[in-house]
Every structure is written in C-alpha cells, then in structure tokens.
Amino acid sequence: MCAAAAEFDEVGYAGASLSSIAARLGRTKGAMSYHFSSKASLAREVVVTQYRQWEVVLERLRDDGHSGLDATVMLSFIVAGRFRDDVLVRAGIRLQHDAGLHDGDLPTPFLGWMRIVGTLLTESEPPVALPPGLDAQSAAEVLVEAFTGLQQVAHRLSRARDIDARVEHYWLLVLPAFGVEDAQHRVERLRAASAAY
Amino acid sequence: MCAAAAEFDEVGYAGASLSSIAARLGRTKGAMSYHFSSKASLAREVVVTQYRQWEVVLERLRDDGHSGLDATVMLSFIVAGRFRDDVLVRAGIRLQHDAGLHDGDLPTPFLGWMRIVGTLLTESEPPVALPPGLDAQSAAEVLVEAFTGLQQVAHRLSRARDIDARVEHYWLLVLPAFGVEDAQHRVERLRAASAAY
C-alpha cells in the first residue's frame, strides 16, 4: 500500500504504473497483480484507507467535548500535519483531485468533507455564530474549498513544509466572520491542542 | 491554440497528444509540428496567453479608480466568469496546477497572483484594514489559496456552472476580517460592477 502511495504521490495517477510499484517492492508485476488487478484498484485502496482514519479522529474530537468550530480548527491542523508527513494521506488526497481518475468507483471528492464540517458547525455546542448571508452548509463548502487550495499551494511551493503557518493564516482570515474576537489567541491554543491527536 | 486548450481542458496534460490536437483541426500531426514542436511548447503557449489578458483587466480596474479591496473582489468575479466560459482560461489555469508539467519553463503557479493581490491590498486607497496577525502579503496568499480551491471544487462538482455563487460565499466568509460591515451589500454591488469587464 505504501509503495503504491509513494508512487502515486511522486508521479501522479497518470504517471504511475503497476510495474514501477512492483519494482519499489522488489517484486515482479506478475507477482503483484495477484493481489491487485489494476492501477485503478490500487488507487481506490489508497483513497479508501486514507478516508477511514478520519472517522477515528472525529470520534476522539467529539468525545473530548470540543465545540464544533474548535473541532473544525483542530481537524484542519491534524489533516495538514498528516498531509505533510504521511505519504498515504498525501497520495489519497491528491489522487482524488487527479483529473484522470474518474472511474466512478471512488467517492466524489470534497463532498464527504463538506458534510463533516457542515455537521460540526450545525451541531456545535455552544452554537456557532454564522456570517450574515451564509448557512452552515455554505460556510462548510467555502471552508473545504479554501483548505483544498491551501493544501495544493503548500504542496506545490514547499512540499507542504510550511503548511502549518498557512493553516494559521487561513483561520486568522476566516474566524472573524464567525464572531471570534481574539482569533490569534484561539488559533494558537487549538493548534497546540491538535498536536495530541 | 483553442484546439490545444480544448484538448488540455478535457483530458489534462498527461492525456493530451499532438495527434489528437491535430485531429481536432482536421490536420495531420506532421503539418502541426511545423508550428509547435512539442506538447510542452503548446501547453506553455496556452498558459502564457491566458496570463496576458489579466494585465489588461488589472489596468482597467486601476484606471476606474476602485480601491484595492474592491478591485480584488471584482477581479475574482471576472476570473471566475472566464474560467467558467473560456476554454483557454480554464486550460491555462488547470495546466499550471497539473502535477505532470514541471518542465521549469512555466512560471511557478500562484506566485504571480499572490503578488498581484498583495500589491492591490498594499497600495489600496483608502487603505485596507488587515486582520490582526496578517500582513498584506500573508492575506493575499490565503486569498489566492482559497480561490484556487474554489475553482477546483467548482470545476469538479458542476463544471464551474455554480462558480459565481461560490465566489459570493467566499467573500461573505472573508470580508468581515477586513472590517467590512455590510459584506452582503458590498459583494452584490461589486459582482454587478464586474460584469462590465
């Protein structure tokens, strides 16, 4: 799985091949095809595995009693850190954005995250103050769009080494719309708290 | 140029080929190679042509005396509209994000836009109120990242048909950080004004 993730991460879906993934493992393509019949099925496996871990993180955030907005901020730092450090997460996220991979068997990207963030904002206790003109779902969509671009830019410009600072700036620009007065202090605190996850 | 743009837009850089671009024009690959020696040089031409038009738009926005923040909002609606309607713009932007196209001859994506938006925010008259903790350049970076993700999501989910609404929501979430009180009214007005460009 990690060999496939590394291959997809480095050369993208279109550039990846079963034989070079096999070569990373010191095996022949024939031996590997026994387990994975196609590049598409390997890609699917990487994407689905990447998704599963977020359910665990979300459950912990809920159990620890964070408000919906705080949980969203923490989640963004957690995802950013793994995107930077974990090739499986990076490959999973980038594969989903890859224009060449429209085989219908993968979940449509973005929608799952929009649902998750929308639910966090809707069910938050205490309730989240929404910006005038936006409901929780529209706000969640913008947050996911912006975070998607942030990941892409960070990856392209610094291989995501500076992603934490970018996430911090993103929240400084966005939190005032949710009525947060001392955004700097709040972001500092949540960034530190997210390190435990 | 438009045949190449249409090809890149539909199948991405990796999927495009000189022969299918030639086929779109009803010509042979040989006849076309006389003008363009490679897929990379065609891609470069699409990207550079796409860039050039923004200088004209920026100059008009400056001449018309809009403040830096207003010009940034209007520019986003103008870019979004052309991204939706103009295959050359769409191909130019998407090619730059395409992971397969790292041939060094293209300008690094995002940086040009970050400079443009940073300058608009810095030189704005009246001056822009920046969110606490962010300077004009960091704010410009987040704005460009968020807009990049917005384009990508809009393209993936609706072929950008709903991009105007997404740009509107994006500004409703971001303008409060710049001290704008009646964001809804301001966005409506600037969206309408941008239609003339």
**Bigger pLDDT: A34 or B153?**
B153
Is B79's Cβ below 8 Å from some Cβ in A?
Answer: no
- Are the Cβ atoms of A142 and B138 closer than 8 angstroms? no
Nearest chain A CA: its distance from B164 CA (Å): 13
DSSP secondary-structure letter at A37? S
- ipTM exceeding 0.85, yes/no: yes
Per-residue confidence (pLDDT) for residue A100, from 0 to 100: 54
Lowest mean pLDDT among A26-30, A148-152, B23-27, B85-89: A26-30
**Bigger pLDDT: A169 or A37?**
A169
Place of tokens 């109120």: B129
A91-118 pLDDT tens trace: 998 888 775 555 556 778 899 999 999 9
* Chain A neighbors of B108, CB-CB under 8 A: 156-157
| Any domain includes B4 | no
- The CATH number that applies at residue B152 is 1.10.357.10
**Bigger pLDDT: A72 or B23?**
A72
| Any domain includes A147 | yes
Nearest chain B CA: its distance from A3 CA (Å): 19
Return mean pLDDT, chain A.
90
Place of tokens 């964070």: A66
Is B14's Cβ below 8 Å from some Cβ in A?
Answer: yes
Place of tokens 């941008």: B194
Which residues span the domain enclosing B91? 49-194
- On whether the CB atoms of residues A45 and A4 are closer than 8 A, the answer is yes
* Chain B neighbors of A108, CB-CB under 8 A: 156-157
Check pLDDT > 90 for residue A11. no
* HSE-CB of B111 using CA atoms within 13 angstroms: 7
Nearest chain B CA: its distance from A80 CA (Å): 14
For chain A, the farthest-separated pair of C-alpha atoms sits apart, in whole angstroms, at 60
Q: Which residue of A has its CA nearest to B157?
A: A108
Per-residue confidence (pLDDT) for residue B109, from 0 to 100: 84
| Any domain includes B41 | no
Number of domains in chain B: 1
Chains A, B: CB pairs < 8 Å: 151
| Any domain includes B147 | yes
Check pLDDT > 70 for residue B66. yes
Q: State mean pLDDT over B5-9.
A: 91
> What is the Cα–Cα distance from B78 to B191, expressed in whole angstroms?
9
Q: How many CB atoms lie within 10 A of CB A67?
A: 16
| Any domain includes A135 | yes
CA angle A99, A102, A105 (to 5 degrees): 145
pTM value is 0.92
State both tokens at B158.
């609706």
| Any domain includes A73 | yes
Residues whose CB falls within 8 Å of the CB of residue B72, separated by 6 or more in sequence, listed in order? B117, B120, B121, B143
- On whether the CB atoms of residues B181 and A132 are closer than 8 A, the answer is no
Choose among A11, A153, A183: nearest Cβ to B148. A153
Is B152's Cβ below 8 Å from some Cβ in A?
Answer: yes
Per-residue confidence (pLDDT) for residue B100, from 0 to 100: 54
Is B90's Cβ below 8 Å from some Cβ in A?
Answer: no
User: Model confidence at B103, in pLDDT bands (50, 70, 90)?
Assistant: low
| Any domain includes B155 | yes
% residues pLDDT > 70 (chain A):
93
A115 residue type, one letter: R
Helix ranges (H only) for chain A are 2-15, 18-24, 29-33, 39-63, 68-85, 87-97, 111-122, 136-158, 163-174, 183-194
Is A142's Cβ below 8 Å from some Cβ in B?
Answer: yes
State both tokens at A179.
């009525």
| Any domain includes A5 | no
Lowest mean pLDDT among A76-80, A139-143, B21-25, B80-84: B21-25
Helix (H) or strand (E) holding B119: helix B111-122
Residue B129 phi, psi (nearest 5): -80, 115
User: Model confidence at B177, in pLDDT bands (50, 70, 90)?
Assistant: very high
**Bigger pLDDT: B99 or A94?**
A94
> What is the Cα–Cα distance from A45 to B148, expressed in whole angstroms?
27
B118-174 pLDDT tens trace: 999 999 988 999 999 999 999 999 999 999 999 999 998 999 999 999 999 999 999
